[in-house]
Amino acid sequence: MMNLIPAFTFILAIILRMEKVNWKSWSTQAKLVGTITSILGAFVVTLYRGPPVLRSPRPPSVQPHRRLPFLLLQQSNWILGGFLLAAQAFLLASSYILQAFILKEYPAVLNLMFYVMFFLTILSGLLSFITARELQSWILKVNVGLIAILYSGVVAVAFGSTLGTWCVKRAGPVYVSMFKPLGIVFAVGLGFLFLGEMLHLGSLIGALVIVMGFHTAVWAKSKEEEKAIEGSGVGGSFASSSHDTPLLQNQASSV
């Protein structure tokens, strides 16, 4: 369901007039086709397994019989889970749109992300205190789990979110959302190299389709930007009007 983020972002950008759309223009058609193609490729990787093509040189880190019982539990609600994942994709797409609006009026990316991380830390702490009231749960143990949590917090959340917000400011929310399906391609490749997972036909076909769709959409987006620059001297994306604004500035244009 997270593969729907580009579609949700594109639809919201059109509704809110953040993205210029001319259905008769070949660049708009190519961008739409590329976005849909990358989404379909992501679903191919997710839903179609196919026969194994390559076997990883590393032994599998997780045996299939250990994962299967969890998938066969009668208590697992796939419908509710799919609905919640779709809601998460819509909220993430909405956050890209909201970031674009905020950055247009307050282009200080690092200041904005400081406030986001500050309140996120407070909310996470309150939620953790409500769900885990035992004192033993709050004792830190130096192990692989702690390293994974620190890596996720520093790299994935802090650095990744800041970089994504900066990209939204530079190129707009639609352009940033186009990169989401590429995460599946990297996950398949890293799983093959480091986790000992076999490479299946569905993964290869889906990865190829994702890359083709991604390049088509990015190429169409770049052509639209070139036309906008040639026509008016200003980039065509919603957030490209302040390219020369530094990442951290003392004063925003307005609050």
Q: What is the pLDDT of residue 138?
A: 81
Q: What is the pLDDT of residue 241?
A: 45
Q: What is the pLDDT of residue 178?
A: 84
Q: What is the pLDDT of residue 168?
A: 93
In the chain, domain spans: 2-58+77-107+172-242
Q: What is the pLDDT of residue 105?
A: 92
Per-residue pLDDT of the chain (255 residues; tens, 9 = 90+): 677 888 889 889 988 988 877 788 888 888 888 888 888 888 888 788 888 887 777 766 655 444 445 444 545 576 777 788 888 889 999 999 999 999 999 999 999 999 999 999 999 889 988 888 888 878 888 888 889 889 988 998 889 999 999 999 998 898 898 888 888 888 888 888 888 888 888 888 988 898 898 888 888 888 887 887 877 654 444 444 444 555 555 544 444
Q: What is the pLDDT of residue 57?
A: 72
Q: What is the pLDDT of residue 163?
A: 94
The structure's pTM equals 0.73
Q: What is the pLDDT of residue 233?
A: 52
Give DSSP secondary structure letters for the chain: -GGGHHHHHHHHHHHTT-S---TTSHHHHHHHHHHHHHHHHHHHHHH---SEEE--SSPPSS-HHHHHHHHT-TT--HHHHHHHHHHHHHHHHHHHHHHHHHHHH---HHHHHHHHHHHHHHHHHHHHHHH---GGGG----SHHHHHHHHIIIIIIIIHHHHHHHHHHHH-HHHHHTTTTHHHHHHHHHHHHHS-PPEEHHHHHHHHHHHHHHHHHHHHHHHHHHHHHHHHSS-SSTTGGGTTS-SS-SS-S--
